[in-house]
Amino acid sequence: MVGSEPRCFLAKGHPAARLRDDALSRARFSFRWEDQFNLALDPDTARKYHDETLPKDRHKSAHYCSMCGPSFCSMRISQGLAKEEEAVL
């Protein structure tokens, strides 16, 4: 499934699929790694891939992944911008 496809194609309309997908998205945005692993379709493989690319213990709670790293993480940047906006308001 491509990220730009409408959500109606998510799991061919399974009623709980959107709830799970939304929960996974929230966990991803909040960098809750254990929740991400537990919500993955294959938690063991998800954890294995994470640990292969970010093996150090400090990465277990990192606020970035190996794809973009800490400097270019879109979720981390979005959170920083939201905090700056709150401070201005």
> 27-69 pLDDT, tens per residue?
999 989 999 999 998 999 999 998 998 878 887 788 887 788 8
pLDDT at 8 over 70: no
Does residue 32 lie in a domain region? yes
DSSP assigned state of 60: G
Does residue 77 lie in a domain region? yes
Does residue 68 lie in a domain region? yes
Does residue 2 lie in a domain region? no
> Residue 81 belongs to what domain range?
7-88
Which sign, positive or negative, has the C-alpha torsion 46, 52, 58, 62? negative
pLDDT of 48: 94
Does residue 71 lie in a domain region? yes
Strand, coil or helix: what is 51?
Answer: helix
Looking at the 3D structure of the chain, how many domains does it have? 1
Does residue 14 lie in a domain region? yes
